Amino acid sequence: MSTNKNEKAPLGVWGVNEYGYYGEFGGAFIPEMLYPNVKELQDRYLSIIREDDFKKEFEHLLKDYAGRPTPLFLAERLSEKYGANIYLKREDLCHTGAHKINNTIGQILLAQRLRKKRIIAETGAGQHGVATATVCALKGLACIVYMGEKDMERQAPNVARMKMLGAKVIPVISGSKTLKDATNEAIRDWINHPADTYYIIGSVVGPHPYPDMVARFQSIISEEIRKQLKEKTGKELPDYVFACVGGGSNAAGAFYHFLDETSVKLVAVEAAGQGIESGFSAATTQLGTTGILHGSKSLVMQTADGQVVEPHSISAGLDYPGIGPMHAHLYNSGRGIFLSATDTEAVEAAKELASLEGIIPALEPAHALFALRKLQFKKSDIVVVNLSGRGDKDLDTYMKFI
Amino acid sequence: MNRINKLFSEKNKNILNVYYTAGFPDLESTTVVLNALQKHGADMVEIGMPYSDPLADGPVIQQSSMIALENGMTIQILFEQLKDCRKNFHLPLLLMGYLNPVMQFGIERFCKMANEVGVDGIILPDLPVYEFENEYKKYFEQNDLHFIFLITPETSEERIKKIDRLSTGFIYAVSSSSTTGNNKEFDEQEKYFSRIKQMNLKNPVLIGFGIKDKQTFDIACKYGNGAIIGSAYINALNGSADIKKTTQQFLESILR
Ligand SMILES: Cc1ncc(COP(=O)(O)O)c(C=O)c1O
């Protein structure tokens, strides 16, 4: 393929093929109205992100603006409790408080090179909206963020941040008024503004090439983990990598450079909400079947008639009825281990991390932290948990449990 | 002969194709609307199969779809409602919807049942050309169903030619780059319409999206073989006490 140094870890059979598929999942199921925009992206994204000038600016902004590399921290008291060597990948220390900025920096640079003037995005927890508003301010581009009305309430601090950054936040009142519907509205906006608008998707979802593109921008996470582990332990490969999965972007980034290393167990943790069988859950692999959502074929939570159902999670960032096609493939093939944690379990794990390590995680990665209890480790195991974001935005929710 | 081809062989101007959502305003409205449209002058009818996440639709059709789903509409029920429709209904009939519900129903079974109840064509805006050619085409062909493709002002000439080659019924020219029911200025689109007209495509062209009254219908008919009306008719049905009368008044206002 290419000689790009970011691609030194071969994805083997886990990468996307030329038609945008991961196994049976993926593709670009889009109406003709979006064809020219999506086709332009498909034709140009790889060549643009391989340009020296792009790579230079991307690396520069990741380092001096976003604050990378993020630390890999050996959490000693957590390690003692769970009987393994547990490392936290501190994406919570990124500028704006989550891994989402890695992707928005990449996509804004791409949008600039495609000469787009108007940026749109969807957001659930507001982290992606904030990360998009941030890079738009940095580059002086107009920014419109679609956010479910319900999410605007439960993630109010992020709404305020987006406004301060100059973005226009449009409340979405259709459907379940959460992330799924915000994504629908963003796609409709794109249909209505085909010439000047670029859509910055916030996860590894959407039509090809978005899942692959977002995974590449997030792959910096596992690239750093490999390097940092080598420095700290002499070994590049952990035994386990844990990450939460909403759409799956932080998990894709944390797994990326380990996908073809079969000794590394990749653990994806979904939101079980009030319990998988409760009717209030967002555990897509447990509850979903193959379907089309937001332009790609993947696992989707739906009725037998193919109507998408409303998911539930305490965490707005995991409250999504699908997962990216790459993860559907990891699940179906058995390459990924898919676990889940409920609302209250996530809160419990967040409280535990705060008291053992002095770190307040976001609700989303708190799900991944809880899943540490579900596997048996050997004392010598190296376990990396991707701490995808910080908990500031969730304090209101946490206060209800303290 | 498929009723779509038969219609265009007999009439190739001022074709009025009307869209409505199955199960709206009430679950049992489907065939009432269908027969009223035939009686009052529609040339062709397009029945929308409601979906929870209709990406290509504006607020009006989103709303009618949501109400239809709340009413309990499903593809299975729609086929039951349409089972005997061909006793009275003789116009070309299309089903329009999104791929996911059709996929869950089973594409093969869907095409077979559509053909059995007398459907002539299918529109699924999120089934793209690549997937159509690769996997789906055969099921439509085996069941004498025309698959209708969309083109937009942004579609390249080369791609329009390709779509023309693949199409067998007609081409659905979306009037402007938008979701359904938009109010974008119509006159600006005339350059695009005449560009398509000058391409002399082998398939007839119907223009849709944003056609809402006699004036916009007439402009569309100047360039295409006819037009498709959706959101404006749904708006008329919304809150109507008498579907037949509303339909009569609506069609008269377009065709007068
Ligand atoms: C901190 C954090 N982690 C995880 C997610 C879930 O997204 P993804 O699965 O794409 O990483 C979000 C989404 O908002 C988030 O804010």
Judged against a pLDDT cut of 60, whether residue A4 lies above it is answered with no
Mean pLDDT, rounded, for A103-115: 98
Please name the residues in contact with A275: beta carbons below 8 A apart, sequence gap of 6 or more. A281, A342
pLDDT of residue A10: 57
Write the pLDDT tens digit of every residue in A72-89: 999 999 999 999 999 999
- Give residue A12's pLDDT: 80
- DSSP codes, A162-198: HHHTTPEEEEE-STTSSHHHHHHHHHHHHHH-TTTEE
Disruptive mutation site among A122, A187, A188 for chain B (greatest number of B CBs within 10 Å) = A188
Q: What is the pLDDT confidence band of residue B7, given thresholds at 50, 70 and 90? A: very high
On the question of a cis peptide bond just before residue B125, with omega within 30 degrees of 0, the verdict is no
Q: Is the pLDDT of residue A49 over 80?
A: yes
The residue among B71, B96, B95, B70 whose CA lies nearest residue B85 is B95
Q: Edge-to-edge strand order for the sheet containing A336-342?
A: A72-74, A85-89, A382-386, A240-244, A265-273, A336-342
Compute the average pLDDT of residues A103-129. Answer: 97
Q: How far apart are CA B252 and CA B256, in angstroms?
A: 5
pLDDT of residue A24 exceeding 70: yes
Percent of chain A with pLDDT over 90: 93
Predicted confidence (pLDDT) at residue A7 exceeds the cutoff of 60:
no
* pLDDT of res. A249: 98
Q: Is residue A178 pLDDT above 50, yes or no?
A: yes
- Chain B positions touching A302 (Cβ under 8 A) are 100, 104
Q: What six digits make up the tokens of A128?
A: 């992606």
Residue A293 · residue A363 · CB < 8 Å: no
Contacts of residue B177, defined as CB under 8 A and 6 or more positions apart, other chains included, come to A33, A191, A192, A193, A194, A195, B152, B153, B154
Instruction: Determine how many CB atoms are found less than 10 A away from the CB of residue B109.
Output: 13
Q: How far apart are CA B133 and CA B129, in angstroms?
A: 6
CB A352 within 8 A of CB A373: no
DSSP class per residue in A6-74:
GG-S--GGGS--TTSEETTEE-----GGGHHHHHHHHHHHHHHHHSHHHHHHHHHIIIIIS-PSPPEEE
Lowest mean pLDDT among A205-209, A324-328, B166-170, B175-179: B175-179
B64 neighbors B50 (Cβ within 8 angstroms): yes
Q: Which chain B residue shows the shortest CA-CA distance from A293?
A: B100
Task: Examine domains A23-60+100-214 and A69-98+219-401 and report if their fold is the same.
Answer: yes
What is the position in ligand 1's atom list of the atom closest to the CA of A251? Answer: 11
B65: which chain A residues are within 8 Å (Cβ-Cβ)?
Answer: none
User: A22 vs A207, A256, A259, A332, A383, CA distance in Å?
Assistant: 12, 14, 13, 11, 26
Q: What is the pLDDT of residues A242-280, one digit of tens each?
A: 999 999 999 999 999 999 999 999 999 999 999 999 999
Please give the residue of chain B at the shortest CA–CA distance from A294. Answer: B55
pLDDT tens sequence across B190-225: 889 999 999 999 999 999 999 999 999 999 999 999
Average pLDDT for chain A: 95
Note the helical H segments in B26-119.
29-39, 59-70, 75-82, 99-105, 107-117
CA distance B9 to chain A (A): 27
8 Å CB contact between A178 and A99: no
User: Ligand 1 mean position to A8 CA, how many Å?
Assistant: 26
Instruction: Count residue pairs from A and B with Cβ separation < 8 A.
Output: 110
pLDDT at A3 over 60: no
What's the CA gap between A385 and A400, in Å, rounded? 26
Give the SS3 label for residue B84.
coil
Closest ligand 1 atom number to CA of residue A323: 9
pLDDT in tens, B61-92: 999 999 999 999 999 999 999 999 999 999 99
Q: Give yes or no: B80 in active site.
A: no
Question: Are the beta carbons of B178 and A291 separated by less than 8 Å?
Answer: no
Residue A5 banded pLDDT, cuts 50, 70, 90? very low
Is B130 in CB contact (< 8 Å) with chain A? yes
C-alpha A390 – ligand 1 centre gap (Å): 11
CA of A393 to the centre of ligand 1 (A): 12
- Cβ–Cβ gap A33/B154 under 8 Å: yes
By 3-state DSSP, what share of chain B in percent is helix, strand and coil, each rounded to 5? 50, 15, 35
Ligand 1: residues whose CB is within 6 Å?
A: A 98, 124-125, 127-128, 203, 244-251, 317-318, 362, 364-365, 388-389
Peptide bond into A69 cis (omega under 30): yes
State pTM to two decimals.
0.96
Q: Any chain A CB within 8 A of the CB of B154? A: yes
Whether B179 and A191 lie within 8 Å, measured CB to CB: yes
Chain A residues touching B105 at Cβ < 8 A: 305-306
* Alpha carbon distance B118, B108 (integer Å): 16
Give, as one character, the DSSP assignment of residue A307: P
Q: Could you tell me if B3 and B93 are in contact, meaning their C-beta atoms sit under 8 angstroms apart?
A: yes
Task: Name the closest residue on chain A to residue B50, using Cα atoms.
Answer: A307
Is B128–A30 a contact, with Cβ atoms under 8 angstroms apart? yes
ipTM of the complex: 0.95
Which of the residues B10, B26, B43, B46 is marked catalytic?
B46
Catalytic-residue membership of A153: no
Q: Decide if A18 contacts A174 (C-beta within 8 A).
A: no
**Pair of tokens at residue B87:** 């006793």
Of all residues in chain A, the one with the smallest CA distance to B156 is A36
A307: tokens are 């109507």
CATH topology of domain A23-60+100-214: Rossmann fold (3.40.50)
- List chain B domain ranges: 13-255
Instruction: Give dist(CA A48, CA A44) in Å, integer.
Output: 6
Q: In this structure, which residue's CA is closest to atom 1 in ligand 1?
A: A389
Superfamily of domain B13-255: Aldolase class I (3.20.20.70)
Cβ contact, residue pair B69, A291, below 8 Å: no
Contacts with A28 from chain B: Cβ below 8 Å: 128, 130
CB B164 within 8 A of CB B204: no
- Domain segments of chain A as ranges: 23-60+100-214, 69-98+219-401
Residue-level pLDDT at B188:
74
Q: Which CATH number fits domain A69-98+219-401: 3.30.930.10, 3.40.50.1100, 3.60.15.10, 3.90.79.10?
A: 3.40.50.1100
Annotated active-site residue in B26, B28, B43, B57: B57
Verify whether residue A174 is a known catalytic residue: no
State which ligand 1 atom lies nearest to the alpha carbon of A179: 14
Sequence-ordered list of residues with C-beta below 8 angstroms from that of B129, at least 6 positions apart, any chain = B149, B162, B163, B166
Distance B117 CA to ligand 1 centre (A): 46
pLDDT of residue A312: 95
Q: Where are the beta strands (DSSP E) in A75-126?
A: 85-89, 118-123
User: Residue B55 pLDDT more than 50?
Assistant: yes
Count of H helices and E strands in chain A?
A: 16, 14
Cβ contact B152–A19 (<8 Å): no
